[in-house]
Structures are given as C-alpha cells and as structure tokens.
Amino acid sequence: MFRTSARVLGPRVSARRRAAAAVVTAALILPLATACGGGDDDAGKESGKTTIKVLAAASLTDVFAKAGAAYEKEHRDTVVKFSFAGSQQLAAQVKQDFPADALVTADTKTMDRLAAKTSEPTVIAKNRLVIATADGNPKHIESLKDLTDKDLKVVLAAPAVPVGRYSKKVLDQQGLHVEPLSQEQDVRGVLSKVELGEADAGIVYATDAMTAPGKVDAVKIPDSQNAVAEYPAATLKVSEHGKKAEAFVKWLGGPEAQRILRDAGFQKP
C-alpha cells in the first residue's frame, strides 16, 4: 500500500516542488531584471549607441535634463543618463567605484577630495544663494538677519552638503545663528519644504528658486554677504567610455551648454 501511495502522490509532490522552485527563481531574477533595466542602457545597446552615466549635483536636475537632450541631438551615437543627488552622496559613490562615466559637483572642495578617482576637473558654471520663501513672501523676509526670528520655520541643508556649507558660511560671516527646523540632504530637499508650506524659508541656490515660479519667491542676498558656488566637471577613471565621457565634459564648457546654463540662471565659470 505504501508503494502504491508513493506512485500516486509522487508526481503531484514533484509538480508542487517544481512550481515552488519556479516562484523562488522568479523572485530572485525579477529584482535583477529591474535593476539592470531602465530603458536607456538597453535602448542604447539595441540602437548601437553608447550610454554614458553622469553623476550630478541635485541643483543641476532641471538644467541637465535640457542639456542632455541637446547633447543627444548633436551626438546621435550617445545616450546621456543622469543620476542626481547631493554632492556628498555622489562622492561616496565615486569612492566605492560606482560604475559611472562623469561627475559634476556643486563645489570644488568635494571634487578635490576625489582627485585619485577623476580626471582634471573643469569649472562649468557658478551659482549664488538666495532665501526661498512661500509665494508672495507672506512673512516679509528681507534679509539673512530675519531668519534668526524664532517664530520662523527655517530649513537649511546639512553642513556636509555644499549648499549647507555655503549657507553656514554666509550666516557665520554675519554673526547670525539660525536654528533650522530640519537639515536636508540636498538643496532640492530645502526647496521642497518651502514649496509644500512645511517651512517659511530656506537658503537655496538662485537657480533652484527659479524652477518653482508661482510656488516660491526668492529674496536676494547682497553680493557682499553671499557665497559663490562653483560647479566642476570631470570624467571618472572607472569609466568604460572614457572618450565619450570626455567629449561630454568638454561640451559642457562649450557655447551651446553654456547658453542652456545661462538661461537657467547659472553664472559664467
């Protein structure tokens, strides 16, 4: 009887095991397929194009979307894929030899620390700080000193972030102490808090405030009290597409890219 039962139940058990194994295998493969997908790389391979990956400071998000499209139009054999984050986060990726081709940070200090991992950097643009407020500036903020008002909800970037370091510098130079509601990991985090009404004000780059018309106002900081942010670009030594990456970095300093950067509010390098 035992043998008969085994013959009858065996195929069913095997089928169940095979089904379970298939589920486990699919669960393992799916995340890999998702991670390796994303369209740009696959599309580039299928069309014979080369995809270059560029790590870029969060404050370049909008302008680089336009610059990337313009570059691809001029260079039909290349697809440009960006990864945006705070410069300190990008630096951490570069130190771990994250597979990318070029890097653009929002300060020279971060780039200089990566000299062993990059080519000689070139400054492609400059920027300045402004105070971002809610649309219409309902709290009537006029200067850096106003940010010390304890009734104001002020958000700053963390000191490890370039814009946070610049913000601390300009406040310290004026002898001002601001107790922030939060310290964000990139400039877009600061801008978002103000846009959503979660903060009354925050210090951001002038170009970031320009990306949110009708949502935030920008209060200018006098040049004598301001800081100048420099954006260096360099290729990465781990790049598998060195010549293509070098061509893109060189293009960023050329007339078309510089026009796009000026239109977005960035200053000449």
169-185 pLDDT, tens digit per residue, is 999 999 999 999 999 99
Mean predicted confidence (pLDDT) in 246-267: 98
At residue 161 the predicted structure's pLDDT band, cuts being 50, 70 and 90, is: very high
Structure tokens at 91: 């630096």
Mean predicted confidence (pLDDT) in 140-169: 97
**What is the distance between the alpha carbons of residues 90 and 84, in angstroms, rounded to a whole number?**
8
* Per-residue model confidence as pLDDT tens digits over 18-54: 444 443 333 333 333 323 333 445 545 557 899 999 9
Domain annotation for the chain: domains and CATH numbers: 41-126+230-263 (3.40.190.10), 127-228 (3.40.190.10)
Q: Tell whether the model's pLDDT for residue 13 goes beyond 80.
A: no
Q: Which residue has the tokens 């295998």?
A: 25
